[in-house]
Amino acid sequence: MADSKVTKSKKTTKLAEAKQNTKLAKRSTADLLNDLRSSSQAQLNNALIEAKADLKKAQQMLKAGELPASHVIKQMKAKIARIHTVMTESKNNKDKEAK
């Protein structure tokens, strides 16, 4: 009996994490881009590392059959791509200003 309670507890925790990730992914694209563009390069690097870690967790949950909504993976990948885009934009803007 104790094992089943522990298993339910782990599943409940993972489900709560997945729901939180879904809420974060639902944030509007315009708001996300505005926040990213106002961030420093170090903050962008940290956001990228965090987004990649979240993606890895979600992929592991999907593989284990514990992710309730698989579309979250696609949304997380899109967020990572947006971060890369903003990093490239800021780099290109700095290069143009230097010339």
How deeply is 33 buried, as exposed, middle or buried, from its count of CB atoms within 10 A (0-12, 13-18, 19+)?
A: middle
How deeply is 69 buried, as exposed, middle or buried, from its count of CB atoms within 10 A (0-12, 13-18, 19+)?
A: middle
Q: For 12-69, write each residue's pLDDT tens digit.
A: 676 666 666 656 555 678 888 888 889 899 999 999 999 999 999 999 999 999 988 8
DSSP code at position 38: T
| Entry pTM | 0.69
- E strand or H helix at 34: helix 29-37
Number of domains in the chain: 1
Residue-range definition of the domain harbouring residue 31: 2-98
